[in-house]
Amino acid sequence: MEEIRIRRLTYENKMDSYSLDDYIRIVKEFHGSLAPGLLIGGFMVDLALKNLPKGEFFDAISETKTCLPDAVQILTPCTVGNSWLKVLDFSRFAISLYDKSTGEGIRVYIDPSKIEKWPEIKNWFYKLKTKKEQNYRLLIDQIKEAGAGLCSMKKIRIKPELLGGHAHGSRIANCERCGEAFKIKDSPLCPACRGGDPYGVQ
Amino acid sequence: MEEIRIRRLTYENKMDSYSLDDYIRIVKEFHGSLAPGLLIGGFMVDLALKNLPKGEFFDAISETKTCLPDAVQILTPCTVGNSWLKVLDFSRFAISLYDKSTGEGIRVYIDPSKIEKWPEIKNWFYKLKTKKEQNYRLLIDQIKEAGAGLCSMKKIRIKPELLGGHAHGSRIANCERCGEAFKIKDSPLCPACRGGDPYGVQ
């Protein structure tokens, strides 16, 4: 069997790759376990990178909070903390990589029409079986065999108003209630003090 | 000068640490550069870990999208993709680590009253100078010197309704418009097709 390799993009904007075993090892270190979604995610990022238009800097979108953000963070320079990866909570299993300046790029998604021939993947993806009922070994084997064959892709262009990223010129002030610094816009209270605080009374 | 070390929590729930130099190297690899916020973030996670209550599994909150999520992802088992790290867009420079089951934990935040004696940190934190006007070397030196001395912490307890995490029993169906799978609730259309799609017309 031909050795499977997973492309990755470095900070120097160079294309490189991991062996599948190395990718799996890094996934376990970073994500804690080889989640099926991260294995598929590796193939998805690989497919996107293979088809990326020429460009200088790339941003990424994950259309789900689950698993896929970590595949992007492991295989590209885009992380949540450096703001090159945006996580949109659409619950669609899809990623996009696009040129920061033009918005042109590639979207890769799990294609429902291609999943039928992989019953254990279908069971997992559509939650037709509980985690206990799933056969993890078989699932992983089917994902390895299917690879990017589960996915389709299309060219995308991000809406211009969503490009640009950083809000320059924002003003920082201390919140009138909690006293901590935040990006002040319309209210003298920070978003947490306006009602989003996750902390209960001690 | 005593060697500075940065605590980290492993997947085996063991406390370990990096030398400051190793932490900085890993930050550059993961985040792309030594952003000042990630250097402070290292000290913040360190302080939180030092004061963590006993517990089996910990979740994390970052109260900003900027920089801090990466400090948490580098130093703890909590990542965005494994859902142990939640990013709340409050623009407050604060993190919390808490026991998944009880919600008890520690919140660490930059304390405005403690920043006064570090002028270059204040210039950066409150955006009193543009990035060009800032003295990056001086800023980094002041952060290294200040360390967790910039921060305060308090015990927190996460609201019980926010604990638990994964929505079990959610149903997956194909969206009636785009045809892709999503977690179906009230609408037969996925959130992207209901109006959040970031993609323009090709």
Arithmetic mean of pLDDT over chain A: 93
In 3D space, the residue among B110, B101, B153 whose CA is nearest the CA of residue A175 turns out to be B110
Euclidean distance between CA atoms A50 and A53, whole angstroms? 9
Whole-number Å distance between alpha carbons of A102 and A105: 9
Residue A169 has pLDDT above 80, yes or no: no
Residue A166 has what pLDDT?
56
Provide the Cα torsion B44, B49, B53, B57; round to 10°: 110
Query: Is A157 strand, coil or helix?
Result: strand
Q: Could you tell me which residue, A168 or B78, shows the higher pLDDT? A: B78
Task: State which H helix or E strand residue B144 sits in.
Answer: helix B136-146
**Do A81 and B65 make contact, defined as CB atoms within 8 angstroms?**
yes
Residue A109 clears pLDDT 60, i.e. is over it: yes
ipTM entry:
0.93
Amino acid at B183: K
3-state secondary structure of B40: helix
Q: Is the pLDDT of residue A168 over 80?
A: no
pLDDT for B158 beyond 60: yes
Q: Helices A36-50 and A20-31 sit at what angle, rounded to 10 degrees?
A: 120
Nearest chain A CA: its distance from B183 CA (Å): 6
Q: Which of A35, A95, A177 is nearest to B166 (CA)?
A: A35
Q: Which residues of A touch B65 (CB under 8 A)?
A: 80-81, 83
Q: Tokens in use for A189?
A: 């209270």
In A33-121, where do the E strands start and end? 58-62, 85-87, 94-99, 104-110
Cα→Cα distances A104→A84, A151, B136, Å? 15, 19, 33
Nearest residue of chain A to residue B192 (CA atoms): A90
Alpha carbon of A4: minimum distance to chain B alpha carbons (Å): 23
Question: A134 burial class (0-12, 13-18, 19+ CB within 10 angstroms)?
Answer: middle
Give the CA angle between residues A84, A85, A86 to the nearest 5°: 115
Q: Which residues of A touch B63 (CB under 8 A)?
A: 192
B159-182: average pLDDT: 84
CB contact under 8 A, B125 and A181: yes
DSSP H helical segments within chain A, as ranges? 20-31, 36-50, 68-75, 119-125, 136-146
Round to whole Å and give the CA distance between B88 and A198: 9
Residue in chain A lying closest to B191 (CA): A90
Instruction: Provide the pLDDT for residue A102.
Output: 93
pLDDT of residue A8: 97
Share of chain A above pLDDT 90, in %: 84
Tokens 């490009």 found at: A163
Give the Cα separation of B180 and A115 in Å (integer).
Answer: 11
| Contact between B32 and A82 using a beta-carbon 8 Å cutoff | yes
pLDDT one-digit tens code per residue, B1-37: 678 999 999 998 899 999 999 999 999 999 999 999 9
Is residue A165 over pLDDT 60?
Answer: no
What are the pLDDT digits (tens) for A24-49? Answer: 999 999 999 999 999 999 999 999 99
Residue A34, burial from CB neighbour count under 10 angstroms (0-12, 13-18, 19+): middle
Give the pLDDT of residue A174: 95
Asked if B60 and B97 count as a contact pair (C-beta separation under 8 A), the reply is yes
Q: Across the interface, which of A88, A89, A126 has its CB nearest the CB of B198?
A: A88
Of A35, A81, A92, which has the smallest distance from its Cβ to B70's Cβ? A81
**Element spanning B27, H or E:** helix B20-31
The verdict on a CB contact (< 8 Å) between B172 and A73 is no
| Residue B176 pLDDT exceeds 60 | yes
3-state helix, strand, coil in chain B (%, to 5): 35, 25, 45
Alpha-helical runs (H) found in A32-67: 36-50
CA A195 – CA A57 distance, rounded (Å): 37
For the cut 90, the answer to whether the pLDDT of residue B162 exceeds it is no
The answer to whether A75 touches A7, Cβ cutoff 8 Å, is yes
- Mutation target to probe the A interface, by most A beta carbons within 10 A, among B91, B93, B170, B186 is B91
Write down the pLDDT at residue B166: 56
